Amino acid sequence: MKCLFLASGFGTRLYPLTQKTAKCLLPYKGKPVISHIVEKIPDGIDISVTVNRKFASQFEDWQNKLDRPVDLWVEPVDNEQQMLGAIGSLNYWIKGNNIDDNLLIIAGDNYFSSDLSGFLSAFDLKDTIIALYDVGNKEEARQFGSVRLEGTKVIELTEKSANPQSGLVSTACYAFPSRIIPLLDDYCKNVKRDNLGSFISHLVKIDSVQGYILDGLWFDIGSAWQKISDIDE
């Protein structure tokens, strides 16, 4: 299995905090947010991070301070108008590196306190599995991809639904079996700048997708940053 962190965005929702600092490199509890999640990736899984050219040097500094090897995949992008989008970034990395492995894909602006052992154990190498979190209320769920389950099977994922049925949302942490890669490529032929949630919504209609509910704390940096009381200054 290979792991990819998607971190090539420009974080415009958090300006001015992210005008000079990549969003997932903002400090939380004494280290960059992305470092907390990198530390949860089991040994033996190769890690790559997609970055843009604006923040590439910052990621190189971060890379040099890590205790494990992480590969940086620099996209030919200097501003928001040139962005490939999450789907485009993932497909660009897959094609550029001839990837044909099972994949663990995580958005770089995620933070979760639980480890990934349960999530990865639930991945049967046949079906896509997505990490879910209960934000506690329907109003909060409107900001994210709201999810409907039958048992552990995802039967619907709706991005920023006006009327979510519960507080259960997607956390932008996914495990894909290698057989999904051709489906992703086909999807990208028409959708270049879409988010991964939209691909999952598509996948739910044509394939089997499982859900795994995380415990502990989870938040999306762009949505929760101002609510966090113990951010490092």
List domains and CATH numbers for the chain: 2-220 (3.90.550.10)
The DSSP line for 154-183 is: EEEEEET-SS-SSSEEEEEEEEE-GGGHHH
Which residues, other chains included, contact 201 with Cβ-Cβ below 8 Å and sequence gap of 6+?
A: 145, 156, 157, 158, 159
**What average pLDDT values come out for the chain (233 residues) when binned by 10 residues?**
94 78 89 93 95 96 94 92 88 94 94 91 95 90 89 91 88 95 89 78 95 91 53 42
pTM of this prediction?
A: 0.92
pLDDT at residue 192, as a whole number: 58
3-state DSSP call for residue 225? helix
pLDDT at residue 140, as a whole number: 83
Q: Please give the Cα distance from 2 to 100 (Å, whole number).
A: 9
pLDDT at residue 142, as a whole number: 87
Distance of CA 24 to the CA centre of its chain: 11
Which residues, other chains included, contact 52 with Cβ-Cβ below 8 Å and sequence gap of 6+?
A: 8, 9, 10, 74, 75, 77, 78, 83
pLDDT at residue 35, as a whole number: 95
